[in-house]
Amino acid sequence: MLGHDHALSGALAFAAVAPLLPVTGTHLAVAAALTAGTGILPDLDEPGSTIARTFGFLTGAFAWIVHTLSGGHRKGTHSLLGVAIMTVAAYFAGQWQDSAHVTSGHIQLWWHLVPAGLLLALLFSAGFRALYIGGHHADLFGIGLAALVIWQGWDLEKVTPWHVSVLAVCVCLGMLAHIAGDMLTHDGCPLLYPLTRYDFGLLPEPIRITTNKLAERWVISPLLLAGLAYFVWRDLGGHALTATQHLAGR
Ligand SMILES: [Zn+2]
């Protein structure tokens, strides 16, 4: 599946569950942008992918390390174990960020912000690139937004009822959305890697899609866009508004 569809599916996944968490307003916009980035995070195991090219040779080299450690492309990072490891890593990056004590413009222990800051800069920049937002300045927007979010602690908002930071939730949701997307294609995903290399799929073989072919461009992409638009409209209170107008009209 293409990078921009993975990014869209991540944002859609967050917008779909936002009322359950509940996350609203600026926090919702930030979290949806973040989940667009985590929607392409699993492809960090492929040195040529969108996310691996985000910061040139820096992320390229990192992708090569991930590729080696995770057993190759579409292996460890496309498994449930990979999702669990990344979610826990994001959780602890958030905990460490939280312990930096940013109070009224004064930071103690600034280096505690570094792991979460790097992760956010990568995810925002990669998400913007995948969605063609910001053109050549996508990375600048991504880094700027990461700095603002870290400063405000927006990624650490605890979502009920689990009291987990929104950062960890975004990593988990985006990666799961990515894996579901790849499971619509002929390749499938090795969900239980490294226990078994069997590639699981969501559709019967004859109707699975091929990346960047007609079905993805004319069915999957428009459906993702429409779904995202609907959930954002609903999250912004469109539902309540229509109901009120309906009542007022009677
Ligand atoms: Zn993938």
The residue extents of the domains of the chain are: 3-239
pLDDT of residue 217: 86
Write out pLDDT tens, residues 16-58: 999 999 888 899 999 999 999 999 999 999 999 989 999 999 9
Structure tokens belonging to residue 122: 């990568």
Report yes or no: 40 and 6 within 8 Å, Cβ to Cβ: yes
State in Å: Cα 4 to ligand 1 middle: 12
Q: Comparing 14-28, 156-170, 207-221, which segment has the lowest mean pLDDT?
A: 207-221
Checking 182-187 for CB contacts under 8 A at 24+ apart, the result is: 182/1, 182/42, 182/74, 182/78, 184/1, 184/208, 184/209, 184/220, 185/1, 185/209, 185/210, 185/211, 186/210, 187/74
246 pLDDT higher than 90: no
pLDDT of residue 66: 96
Mean pLDDT of 209-238: 89
State in Å: Cα 229 to ligand 1 middle: 24
pLDDT of residue 160: 75
State in Å: Cα 124 to ligand 1 middle: 18
Q: Report the C-alpha gap between 236 and 130 in whole angstroms.
A: 24
pLDDT of residue 105: 65
- Of 37, 166, 44, the C-alpha closest to 93 is 166
Which residues keep their CB under 5 angstroms from ion ligand 1? Answer: 42-43, 182
pLDDT of residue 100: 86
Q: Tell how strand 158-159 and strand 106-107 pair up.
A: unpaired
